[in-house]
Structure 1
Amino acid sequence: MALDVELAEIRDFLAAHAPFDALPAHELSTLPALLEVVYRRRGEVVLPAGEVPEGLLVVRSGAVEARDADGELVQRGGAGTSVGGPALVAGTAQPVTVSAIEDSLLLVLPAAAAGELLARHPALAAALRERGGDRLRGAVEHQRDLHADDLQRAVLRTRVADLVRRPPVTVAATATVREAAEVMHREQVSSVLVTDGERLVGILTDRDLRSRVVAAGTDPAVAVSAVMTPEPVTGSPDAVALEVLLELVRRNLHHLPLLRDGRPVGVVTATDLMRLEQADPVHLVGDVARARDAAEVAEAAGRLAGLVASLVRQGTSARDASRVVTTIGDAVERRLVTLAEDAIGPAPVPYAWVTLGSRARFEQALHADQDHALVLHDDASEADDAWFVELADRVTADLEVVGYPRCGGGTMAGDARWRRTRAGWRDEVSAWVREPTPGAVIGASIFFDLRHLSGEASLTADVADHLRRSAAGADLFLAHLASHAAARPVPVGFFRGLVVERTGEHRDTLDLKRGGIGIVVEIARIHALTVGSPATSTLERLEDAVAGGALSRPLADDLHDAWEYLTALRLGHQADQVRHGALPDNHVDPSALSSLEQRHLRTVFGVLRSAQSALAQRHPVSALW
């Protein structure tokens, strides 16, 4: 009877502490009989770093602390604290040493029993893994704030709603042009929204009045619906001002109606937005769009490195900074395509110029190399190919002048492998999926990140749709992709030391792109392909993978934070190189990082190993046989 009372006390103890409090009652009742009890004196090691836990430990009484290899405190906990959970779930080595700081009793659930419990209750495994994720989210914030200026950061993150100073000025769709002009004059505005009830149906601007009424000799007594811009581009009042400004410049618009729940709440103009201190990216994009030749494009794009350094100083998120860099890269490449077309004449058949790699994912950093391809109309002949070779060669050479190096692997539209008709690309993708050789896996990994940049958008859309439909459900192909991604080495050793390159130009450094960011990118891509996601950006793919049931929410959040941390670290490193006149790269010397940053890196790399393990389990090697 005494034993029953003791087991009941342990059951009640577990029920009072997360994450065990989420277990069903019957599981809590059977769990205590599986537990062992161990005693550790003050100062004794409870769980050493570098060892795979032999069980899940829970502090019954006393207190423990975790310290990293440098002796710095990571975490402390008392009764109810779980020890070794993330490592046990991932099947990896314990990253930090846990010691008793008081005489302590610990409950131990042996690894075999713990494995069975976690298999029955995936939410428990996710919760144990997530307990290590809080530190990673803190690391992201720390990296973002490292060089942040609070005032400039606030300017950068201004919502467009904060720039709207008055309710929208509207007229009914039945109003005449004269009546609309009178309203604009009376209200001293450069545009008026045209509505049907509460629904926005159009916008009339000063430019419309000049070009469609005065210059065209239109009778001002006609209905405003005859000269307005119907179904205008709209935005959300919660959007970030800088992104909205870049979009207005890209579309050559001046006014943007803001809608909430489908109803207009105001109008923001490019002039409003350019009053912000952060107009630099927009002026840069505008200068690129007006450039008359590659030299002028290069002159404008030369300001990009300084802009990135400014974004880092302002504490911009890695996602936002990468989108700004990508938007400018898009403007550069699109302008060079247009200049090449102007030089060699019109295309013989419709075509699409597509961007690949980090640019396609909106994740470009400084000194990124070229990755692009061509999708030609199916009517293209062999004779037509000469025009497209010249187009590709001109754009490739001009991009090199601007500062985008040629792709070392030849992933450029001038190479016949990356210049095919729409039907040719469909056949190539089908072949990759049907026979996933090592070369096919590499080709698919590159081409499955594509985004339309210039030309006939429907050609890109057709190929992208074929990509998604071909990959979804192709177990053998996905298993090959997963095997390749899971085998990529994470630069951390068994004892949690950071593993640097031993030879070559980048000796004693970490390659943040190949050994970190690239792993997150591949994992997200495979999970997204599994659920048929149309997304190209890594963070959107993670969200789609969660929605499709291919990835748990805690692991997706950890991967999101890992991507943010590594990308922010890379951008900060590149900004430092720019300030010192060096060419930006992806190689960081860990000895130049603080002990806190090194610890954060080890946490990130632990997440990547866990994600690789989860990926391998979802797409097992057995599928390859």
Structure 2
Amino acid sequence: MEPELVEVRDFLAAHAPFSELPRDVLDALPAQSTLRYHRRGTILLRPDDRVTSLIVVRSGAVDVHEQGGGLVERVDVGGTVGVTGLVEKGPYGFDVTAVEDTLVLELPAAVFHRLVDHPNVGTFFLEQQVTRLRQAVESVQVSETGGDVLRTPVTDMISGRVVVATPEISVQEAAQLMRTERVSSVLVLHPDGRLCGILTDRDLRNRVVAEGLSVTSRLAQVMTPEPVTLRPDALAFEALLEMLARDVHHLPVVEGGRPLGVVTSTDLVRLERSNPLYLVQDVTSQTTVEGLAEGAARLPSIVEGLVTQDASASDISRVVTAVADALHRRLLVLAEKRLGPPPVPYCWVVLGSQARHESGLGGDQDTAIIVDDRGAHDHDAYFADLAAFVTDGLVACGYPRCPGGVMATNPRWRQTERAWRGIFAEWIDEPTPDALVGAAIFFDMRSIHGQAELCERLRAHVLSRTPGARTFLAHLTKQAIEHQPPLGLFRGFVVEKSGEHQRTLDLKHRGVGPVTEIARVQALSLGSPAVDTRGRLAAARAAGRMNPGSVDDLLDAFEFIGYVRLRHQAGCVRSGAKPDNFVAPDSLSSFEKRTLKDAFGVVRSAQSVLAQRQPLGLIS
């Protein structure tokens, strides 16, 4: 081998992943590579370029910038550039510039793709960021306490035999059967053995006794038809979340349409006394704001327990949201008892993270009211009093008022359905940056109480208009890419520079926030009804708007950042501090620091791709 080729081989052998190659493969690489010299300031790649070779920095350094100008990373001796473009085979999406006189080795795409067939090299290149991030997501969901109660299969929780009946028997016969078998429910079956309904103690109380029905009524008249069911491979946590979301206490476990048994809320409480279902049950039985506040005060310690178990950030956020939903609903019931029935139908809606089922600890209130179009000005006094009662109650329960005034107590956010359509039309048809900064969360809207059809009709109307609103989407895109992840020079963290949270990372507005904003733009551009971030990204993937691998990467980043955020909030609870979203880098382990950088890098790449595909030129 010629001396200059030996020198190249020795250089490659000293840097990963080439150091992992078999000797004969490594020896062949120098002859397959091209050495190129670039003067300082030379542009090696542009965002629209398709990458044709792997670039290895031999001497000097290059900077990788986003299309908008933000620095992604500086690559120095031994580092590589272009992997993403070689793998995805599309426009690279970044500017690569020599920051000093630089020598690079270029390995053709065909050589690169042969190299990744070697296990260690493939892991380093093709899965360098993705695998590290995904493994990190999996590893942080391992229980610290060894407790795995929430991962118990539901089939392990079923006790006793299945108690069944036919739709034709009387309510009295069903009640006698339940008493004899000492169960709180009976499953109702079709003649072929498939499940068609369920009767519970609560059904007997609410649908028979309270309604004054005869005990000779047929079971088919009072049962819950086509009940929500669980798969045999479902876990206790899934059962918990279904019960929280649907406000039910019995879930049949079904295989092939035929019941195997029933999991009850009592089973879950027995399995883990400190689980959130117990708290939600407690909330729904309270008759005073003081009682609700006492219950809400237990939520932080429950979240701390979930963090130390093998629960994901997604699951924990759904639990936090379910408790918040329960508090809202109970306060609204108490308000209506105090004020009397509403003069016209209305719908109480939540916005932002609660609407997306992505709540963390320490969040404030974001609420609004949609009033039926029959509502007159005279009716507003009732809804103003209702909003004041609920808002004050939420403050007592630990949910501070929204600093921006996005609450149903603000007359601006207490409107008829017709008026709401006009407000959304203004945002969509004549968008301005200042207006949309506060309005974006209104596109994350979910019904909590009242006539849900008012919310659903409004959302359907809005979503019918957003796909073609190019200027509106451009403004939302600009917002989504302006909130950059806190990653700076040399992949170092960019901390808050002043104020109360100086020298910390804002994991809400610069971490999970950009992901929710990307997902929101994608969903509104499609007219997708999904509200949660995961559902919106899934819709973008299904519609071909986002690469499937990119969606998976972004979801992993969203999960890991969310987990670190919740873990920090649990730590605040443990130390007696108020939960927030600001994490000091020095408090993170080296594992968390490295993986957060990977996650921030994924988010930044997704922002760059979004900027290329949305019409930002309309507002520049």
Deviation, structure 1 residue 132: 2.5
Deviation, structure 1 residue 260: 3.3
CA distance, structure 1, for counterparts of residue 598 and residue 250 of structure 2: 46
The aligned counterpart of 2:40 is none
Pair 1:363 & 2:351 matched = no
Change (3 A) 1:527 1:211: closer
Deviation, structure 1 residue 208: 5.7
CA distance, structure 1, for counterparts of residue 186 and residue 575 of structure 2: 50
Q: Is the 8 A contact 2:471 2:615 kept in 1?
A: no
Alignment length (residue pairs): 540
The aligned counterpart of 1:142 is 139
Deviations 1:335-384 (Å, cap 9, x if unpaired)? Answer: 12222222222222111110011111111111101100110111111111
Matches within 5 A, 1:444-523: 444-523=439-518
Q: Is the 8 A contact 1:56 1:83 kept in 2?
A: no
Deviations 1:7-34 (Å, cap 9, x if unpaired)? Answer: xxxxxxxxxxxxxxxxxxxxxxxxxxxx
What amino acid is the match of 2:363?
Answer: A
Match of 2:568 among 543, 561, 573: 573
What amino acid is the match of 2:294?
Answer: E
Deviations 1:187-238 (Å, cap 9, x if unpaired)? Answer: 5544332222233222244566688789969465x75435544444434444
Change (3 A) 1:241 1:57: same
Pair 1:349 & 2:344 matched = yes
Pair 1:616 & 2:611 matched = yes
Q: Is the 8 A contact 1:308 1:575 kept in 2?
A: yes
- 3-state SS of 1:383 partner: helix
Match of 1:327 among 301, 311, 322: 322
Pair 1:194 & 2:192 matched = no
Pair 1:91 & 2:94 matched = yes
What amino acid is the match of 1:336?
Answer: L
Pair 1:591 & 2:586 matched = yes
- 3-state SS of 1:430 partner: helix
CA distance, structure 1, for counterparts of residue 35 and residue 459 of structure 2: 59
- 3-state SS of 2:140 partner: helix
Change (3 A) 1:473 1:179: same
CA distance, structure 2, for counterparts of residue 441 and residue 140 of structure 1: 33
Q: Is the 8 A contact 1:246 1:281 kept in 2?
A: no
Deviation, structure 1 residue 334: 1.5
If the length of structure 1 is used for normalisation, what is the TM-score? 0.78
Pair 1:530 & 2:525 matched = yes
What amino acid is the match of 2:167?
Answer: A
Q: Is the 8 A contact 1:355 1:371 kept in 2?
A: yes
CA distance, structure 1, for counterparts of residue 485 and residue 213 of structure 2: 69
Deviation, structure 1 residue 181: 6.0
Deviations 1:256-276 (Å, cap 9, x if unpaired)? Answer: 223334333322222222211
If the length of structure 2 is used for normalisation, what is the TM-score? 0.79
Q: Is the 8 A contact 2:496 2:502 kept in 1?
A: yes
The aligned counterpart of 1:121 is none
What amino acid is the match of 1:449?
Answer: D
- 3-state SS of 2:33 partner: strand
Deviation, structure 1 residue 456: 1.0
CA distance, structure 2, for counterparts of residue 420 and residue 236 of structure 1: 42
List runs of 5+ in structure 1 lacking aligned partners.
Answer: 1-34, 41-50, 61-77, 95-103, 115-126
The aligned counterpart of 2:559 is 564
Deviation, structure 1 residue 427: 1.2
Change (3 A) 1:90 1:230: same
The aligned counterpart of 1:9 is none
Match of 2:157 among 163, 167, 182: 163
What amino acid is the match of 1:85?
Answer: V
What amino acid is the match of 1:494?
Answer: L
Deviation, structure 1 residue 458: 0.8
Deviation, structure 1 residue 186: 6.6
What amino acid is the match of 1:134?
Answer: T
The aligned counterpart of 1:554 is 549
What amino acid is the match of 1:595?
Answer: S
CA distance, structure 2, for counterparts of residue 219 and residue 595 of structure 1: 66
What amino acid is the match of 2:162?
Answer: P
The aligned counterpart of 1:390 is 385
Deviation, structure 1 residue 570: 0.5
CA distance, structure 2, for counterparts of residue 241 and residue 430 of structure 1: 44
Q: Is the 8 A contact 1:273 1:279 kept in 2?
A: no
Change (3 A) 1:209 1:287: closer
Percent of aligned positions with the same letter in both sequences?
48
- 3-state SS of 2:528 partner: coil
Q: Which moved more, 1:521-530 or 1:156-165?
A: 156-165
Change (3 A) 1:466 1:581: same
Change (3 A) 1:623 1:578: same
Match of 1:37 among 33, 37, 41: 33
The aligned counterpart of 1:10 is none
Deviations 1:498-547 (Å, cap 9, x if unpaired)? Answer: 11111111111110001111000000111111222211111111111101
CA distance, structure 1, for counterparts of residue 583 and residue 173 of structure 2: 63
Change (3 A) 1:230 1:211: same
Q: Is the 8 A contact 1:280 1:307 kept in 2?
A: yes
Q: Is the 8 A contact 1:476 1:623 kept in 2?
A: yes
Change (3 A) 1:187 1:429: same
The aligned counterpart of 2:107 is 107
Change (3 A) 1:593 1:269: closer
Change (3 A) 1:208 1:37: closer
